[in-house]
């Protein structure tokens, strides 16, 4: 009787502790709370921007007003400069470049990461090559890429591909190493083949890290794209900002920076949504 009561008391204590952990998670703020804080932060920054330009604290050459930047946005959207691409055309070109390279990186980096995580031979072959070029800034080997491939689309896509490839490989390899060996042994004991274990156990178990690597890779790819367009391109958001800076069009420069930042934020939101759809169990186990 005493043992039964003690067990019931322990179960009640565990239930209360679990409820408290669910109700109070100081390192995991809820989505609604984060949304309100982020909205208030953006509103405060816009208000400070408007006040500083309206009162003349900063000259328009250095910081145009929000109204001037919005006017530049509408002007560029409608093709305000004859013979120059519109904002939509520049954005479309940049998106085609970054997503083309990003998809190529996914198709090649994930298999390489899986091979490195499951094979010592593959890890010995690819690890020194990836670790050698991964810390290098993409603009450091941009001149070499231009010498080899010219200044066409192939060079830019290759540069973005290299920027996306290394983070995806490392994330996939880390995901493979994080799969519990008990799950792999259990699958083999149930008669699964090596291919079935790789597909249904290792790949699924690695998906959270792979999605994280995709989020990092798309950010690197977008940053590299804008930098490459400023050096070797005639179209794209980076080239648009560079041309505007040559004519001291600060309003267009800030408008381009805002568009680039909004697109990067949209990419991250897209990756978060993809993570929710593909790995709904992440953070719940």
Q: What is the pLDDT of residue 227?
A: 82
Calculate ∠ Cα 142-100-235, nearest 5°.
60
Average pLDDT over the chain, rounded to whole?
82
Element (H, E) at 38: helix 31-54
Q: Is the pLDDT of residue 258 over 80?
A: yes
* pLDDT band with cut points at 50, 70 and 90 for residue 33: low
Residue 180 phi, psi dihedral angles, 5° rounding: -60, 135
Q: What is the pLDDT of residues 131-173, one digit of tens each?
A: 898 888 888 888 888 889 887 888 889 999 999 999 999 999 9
65 or 6: which carries more pLDDT confidence? 65
End-to-end Cα spacing for the chain? 34
Q: What is the pLDDT of residue 170?
A: 94
Q: pTM of the predicted model, to two decimals?
A: 0.78
Q: Is the pLDDT of residue 5 over 50?
A: no
* pLDDT band with cut points at 50, 70 and 90 for residue 22: very low
């Amino acid at each position: 009787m005493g043992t039964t009561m003690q067990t019931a008391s322990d179960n009640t204590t565990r239930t209360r502790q679990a409820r408290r952990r669910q109700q109070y998670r100081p390192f995991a703020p809820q989505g609604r709370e984060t949304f309100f804080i982020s909205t208030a932060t953006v509103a405060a920054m816009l208000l400070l921007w408007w006040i500083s330009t309206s009162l003349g604290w900063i000259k328009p050459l250095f910081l145009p007003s929000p109204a001037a930047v919005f006017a530049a946005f509408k002007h560029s959207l409608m093709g305000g400069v004859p013979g120059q691409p519109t904002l939509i055309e520049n954005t479309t070109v940049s998106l085609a470049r970054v997503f083309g390279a990003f998809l190529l990186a996914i198709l090649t980096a994930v298999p390489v990461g899986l091979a490195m995580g499951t094979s010592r031979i593959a890890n010995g072959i690819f690890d020194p090559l990836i670790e050698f070029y991964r810390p290098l800034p993409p603009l450091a080997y941009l001149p070499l890429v231009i010498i080899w491939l010219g200044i066409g689309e192939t060079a830019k896509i290759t540069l973005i591909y290299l920027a996306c490839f290394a983070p995806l490989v490392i994330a996939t390899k880390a995901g493979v190493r994080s799969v519990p060996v008990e799950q792999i042994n259990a699958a083999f004991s149930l008669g699964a083949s090596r291919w079935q274990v790789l597909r249904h156990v290792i790949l699924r178990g690695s998906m959270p890290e792979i999605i994280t690597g995709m989020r990092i890779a798309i950010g690197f790819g977008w940053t590299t794209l804008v930098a490459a367009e400023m050096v070797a391109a005639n179209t794209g958001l980076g080239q648009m900002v560079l041309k505007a800076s040559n004519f001291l069009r600060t309003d267009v420069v800030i408008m381009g920076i805002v568009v680039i930042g909004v697109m990067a934020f949209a990419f991250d939101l897209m990756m978060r949504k993809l993570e929710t759809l593909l790995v709904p169990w992440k953070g719940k186990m």
